[in-house]
Each structure stands twice: as structure tokens, then as C-alpha cells.
Amino acid sequence: MEKTAEFSFCGFVRWIFQRRCKWFKKSSVHSLPTNTSENCSVSDDAKMPLEQDRRTHQKPTLDQPRPSISHQKNQSRRPSDAARISLSNGSVLGNLKPIGSANNSPRNRQEMNSSPKLGGNGNMGNIMRRSSCELKPNVLKSMGNEAYKQGKYEEALALYNRAIALDSENPVYYSNKGASLIALHRFMEAIEECKKALKIQPSYQRAHHRLATTYLRIGEPEKALAHLEQSGPYSDINDMNRACVLQSCLSKCIEARKLQDWDTLLKETKWTISSVSNSAYKLYALQAEALLKFHRYQEAYAIYQKGQSLEPNLLTKLFSVADSALILSIEAQVYTTMGRFEEAVAAAERSTRLDPTNMEANRVAKWAKLVSSARLRGNLLFKESRFPEACTAYSEGLEHDPYNSILLCNRAACRSKLGRYEKAVEDCTAALMTQPCYSKARHRRADCNAKMERWEASIQDYEVLIRERPGNEEVGRALFEAQLQLRKQHGEDVKDLKFGCNLVCISSYERFRHFVTSPGMSVVLFCNKSYQKEGLEVFESVYERFPWLNFLKVDQNGGGRRPSLFGEVGGGEVHSSFQDIQKWENSEGDSRL
């Protein structure tokens, strides 16, 4: 009877579970929420660069997993009942085994996944296979905040992008992404992200403040003031003062430009960039224009490069049409003076397309095209060896831009081909005045001076070039030849001097004095028979790499005496007197020879 009653009771329980499984098929089970904010989020305070998500989220429909009927019964039963129930049907409790059951055999797992009786098992798979903490947008944001605080801005940017992909309606993610872009100096993108945040939540004060500070950095005080007024507690009196000072400085710069007071414009832009707005595109452009007026082309180019180049669509989003056209016109002038003619013409054409009625933009576009076409025409004639016509073409371009270093250097090449070396030197000197680092012009001037047998002037230019390009054999050979000719001019015996054979053994003081007082640079090693072999090998390997220098090996055992270099020897340049050649090579380095 007890056994029959026990089986009857088990059948009754089986019937209850079957009814329960049918109910599960009709009702969907929601994925369970994860309370990760307590463990993963970063606390928000006023000192942190990034804010936390303050938006109130709706609670999921299902806060906690709902216990099944069987589970409720199991809690009220005695421990001995569990054994009897488990004998009735092992598949009934399959839904609970992934959570707490130790019986994880492959067969049971297969039954659990494929059993049609447990309709809710597919929906509950997320609990077993995937950690929802990894997909939580708020967790990704917290990870981005940590990366930001560690200075890993690219990593923070990637994490904010992932958070946005999962929740594109949270303004905090866009604002924090904007902060990372600001740290990476990608200001235009940062502005766009902050605008997206304000589109979702127009009263978001932190996003307003980020926009305001970004506008201050790029030199837009009016827009900065407008957003500071909506920043609430985030804005302070210092921000307002900076905006007002920037506004005043820009007014002074515009007035100085109208009056063509380039000195005032240069001073005002320098001060404003260093003190108020260090990334202002317009200020950098105005400063570059002032430097152009003083024919400081190389400085103008370097300054303009600091103000990042913008695409036309971004220019018009940030600046007015007139300001955009002005910036592009200045870009065209800077590129023209540096020989980037195609880019200059492109910038000028963009300027006229933006503002067709702007007379200044049209004038600059016409000017850039004339200079560019003159250079192109001269190059074609030069390739055809029509040097007089090429010289005329370059001269026509110089009528429009008299200090253009590229046209001056090209005309010098034509004049050199025509044997007009003096005029060629004048053109190269003029080119170097506006662009001191123009190596081609310096090389051409050295070559022309050599052809006019002005050896000292030629050597000076070649020595500058060899310091810029230590391993250039062409320059080294030309320098050696100029030094050789200068010695001939002074009546010296140079029959034993050859390029690459510049190691001379000195055994007398008179011969030593003869070399160190000659033009050029000398490197001296004082040695004797006991000198280490390694030191001599290093010395010999060094002289082979610098054939245009004089390497003197003074043999102190050959009857000569070691001179007092600073007392008895006058003139010349003696590199050093040293005991350990290995130590000398390590301390001086190849670039200083």
C-alpha cells in the first residue's frame, strides 16, 4: 500500500509539472536583469573629467527570476522527499540543472536543450551562456571612463562607440565620446558629438559646457558664450572672462588687418593663441598672413600647419562663409610661397566657390593661378633645354610673387646653364632669405661659387649641407674638391690627397702645423706604439665614412713632440686630442664629425 501510494503521489506530481510546462510554452520568459552598476560603475564627482549616466532607466519587466512551482514545493518538503521525487522523472527538473545540478552529463545536456516539453529553455539560454555584464552599455561607459582617466583616449573612444551602438539614445555616451575627441585634438568631431547629445537632451548642462570650452579653444567666442549661459553650475567666471577677452582680441585682429597693420596683427595673434585660444584656426591663419607680409615664408608655413586644415563642409559648419573664404585664401598664399602650387590653386578655387562675390578671394585665386602656370611653363621649357625661354617664364612668375623661393631657385638653375653664375648666386641668396632651410638653393649657390672659383664661399655652403645630410657622398665629394682647390690656391702640395684617402700620418711638428692651419676640419689622434690596436681600428673605420675631413694620426714615437694645441698652433680647427678613441667616438657620434 505504501508503495502504491508513493507511486500515486509521484504521478500526481508529474501531472502538475506537465501542466506547468504547457503554461511555459504560452508565456515568454524575459531575460534576467543584471545589477552590474553597483560593481562596475565609477562614482561621479565634480573633479572627474567624465560624468556618469544620470538618466533614470525603466526597470525591466522581470526584476528577478520567478521560482517554479516545483521549487516552491521543494522548499517545503523534507530532504528525504527529494530522493523519491527524483526517481519519478529525471527530465522534469532539466530546466534547473544548468543552475544548480551537478549532473551535467552530455546526454542530460542534450535532453535539456532539445526537449520540446520545456518551452522556456531556449529563452533562458542567455543566463547560462553569456554574461550580460559584457553587453551592458553603462559598463562599457564605466570602462571608457577608466581608460580616459589613464590617458588612453583612443581606447576610451572605442568603448564609448560600443556603448552608443548598444544604446544610441543616451546623451552621456555622446558627451563622453566628445571629451575623448577633445583630448585627441579632434575638435570638429567633438563638437558634432556634443551636438548629438544636446539633440537627445537639450538641457544637458555638461554637454553645453563641453561645447563652450571647445568653441573657446578653436576661437569662436560668441558660440562659447551662448553655451556657457546654458551650462548651469559647470560654467564659472573664468570661462566667461576668457570668452570676452577672446572676443576683444579677435576684434583687434580684424581691425589691424583692415588697416594692413601687420605688426599689430602679428603681436595680437601670438598673444591670443598663447594665452586664450591655442587651437583657433582663424587666428593661426591671420598670423600666417602677417608673417607672409614680412616675407617670413617658412615661419608662415609652420604656423599655418598648426591650425589643422579643414574640409569645405566642415569650414562652413564652424565659420561663416566670409571667414571660410578668408582662411582658404590665406592657405592658397601659404602653399604658393612654399611651392605647393597645385594645392594652392585648389584652395583658391574652393574659396571662390564658397563666396563668389568676395573680391579678395577672387584676386588671390587669379594670383595663385598665374604663379602656378608660370612655374609649370618654365619647367616644361627647362626640360626641353630651352633655358632662355624658361628663364623668361620664371621671371614672369616672379613679377607676381617676387620673393617666391621656388621660382628664384629655378631661375638660378637656368642662369647657371647659361653661364650667368653671378646672377644665379643672387637668385639663390634671395631664395634662402625667405626660406633658410631650402637645401636645393644652398647646393646650387655652392656649385655656382665653385664654378667662379670662390672656394671659401662654396666650402661654407657645402659644410652646412654636410651637417644636414652627413652620409651624402655627392656633397662630401664636392666639399673635398672645394677644399682641395683652396689648398692649391694657397700654393700647397696636394698631389697625395685623394677623396677617400684622407688619413695622414704625422711624424713632425711642422707637418702637423701645416695640416691644422689649412682650411677645413681636422680630426687628430695622438698615439704611440703601445696604443691599443682596437682604438686604431676604430679611428681608421671612422675616417673611411667621412672622406671630406682630415684625419691626422700623430706618431709620438717618430721624433716629433706633442704640441700644445691651444698655445703653439694658431688657426685651423682641431677636433680633439684624446687618449681613448673609443670613448671619443661614443661621446661625439658620427653626426658631429
Give the pLDDT of residue 208: 95
Whether residues 527 and 587 share a domain: the answer is yes
Question: How do the residues of the chain divide into helix, strand and coil, expressed in percent and rounded to 5?
Answer: 65, 5, 30
pTM for the whole structure: 0.62
**140 and 41 in contact (C-beta within 8 Å)?**
no
| Domain presence at residue 305 | no
Whether residues 452 and 389 share a domain: the answer is yes
Backbone angles phi, psi at 553, to 5 degrees: -105, 105
The rounded distance, in Å, linking the Cα atoms of 586 and 317 is 55
Helical axes 187-200 vs 171-183, angle rounded to 10°: 170
| Domain presence at residue 226 | no
CA dist 585 → 190, 233, 378, 548, 568 (Å)? 50, 62, 48, 18, 26
Whether residues 483 and 512 share a domain: the answer is no
Whether residues 385 and 463 share a domain: the answer is yes
Whether residues 485 and 547 share a domain: the answer is no
Whether residues 460 and 426 share a domain: the answer is yes
DSSP one-letter code for 318:
H
Q: Which domain-ending residue is among 489, 520, 544? A: 489
Which residues in the chain come in under a pLDDT of 70?
1-135, 308-314, 471, 490-511, 514-522, 525, 527-551, 553, 555-593
| Domain presence at residue 343 | no
Beta strands 521-527 and 503-506, pairing class:
unpaired
| Domain presence at residue 10 | no
| Domain presence at residue 468 | yes
Residues 372-392 pLDDT 10s? 999 999 999 999 999 999 999
Whether residues 374 and 415 share a domain: the answer is yes
Closest by Cα among 169, 221, 216, 226 to 190: 216
Contacts of residue 495, Cβ cutoff 8 Å, sequence gap at least 6: none
Residues 542-589 pLDDT 10s? 655 665 566 676 765 554 444 444 333 333 334 443 333 334 334 444
Whether residues 585 and 519 share a domain: the answer is yes
Report the CATH number at residue 390. Answer: 1.25.40.10
CA angle 284, 290, 294 (to 5 degrees): 140
Looking up cell 526517481, which residue turns up?
Answer: 87
Whether residues 450 and 540 share a domain: the answer is no
| Domain presence at residue 449 | yes
The rounded distance, in Å, linking the Cα atoms of 177 and 137 is 13
The rounded distance, in Å, linking the Cα atoms of 240 and 395 is 53
The rounded distance, in Å, linking the Cα atoms of 381 and 393 is 8
| Domain presence at residue 80 | no
144's grid cell: 571608457
Whether residues 397 and 485 share a domain: the answer is yes
Amino acid at the residue 320: S
DSSP one-letter code for 433:
H
Whether residues 452 and 483 share a domain: the answer is yes
Q: Which domain-ending residue is among 448, 465, 489? A: 489
Contacts of residue 215, Cβ cutoff 8 Å, sequence gap at least 6: 191, 221, 223, 224, 227
- Provide the residue range defining the domain that includes 452: 369-489
Whether residues 388 and 474 share a domain: the answer is yes
Give the pLDDT of residue 443: 94
Report the CATH number at residue 528. Answer: 3.40.30
| Domain presence at residue 445 | yes
Domain count, the chain: 2
Rounded to the nearest angstrom, the gap between the alpha carbon of residue 414 and the centroid of all alpha carbons in its chain is 39
Residues 234-252 pLDDT 10s? 988 998 999 999 999 999 9
- Cβ burial, residue 426 (10 Å; 0-12/13-18/19+): middle
Residues 220-234 pLDDT 10s? 999 999 999 999 999
Q: Which domain-ending residue is among 489, 517, 540? A: 489
The rounded distance, in Å, linking the Cα atoms of 362 and 360 is 5
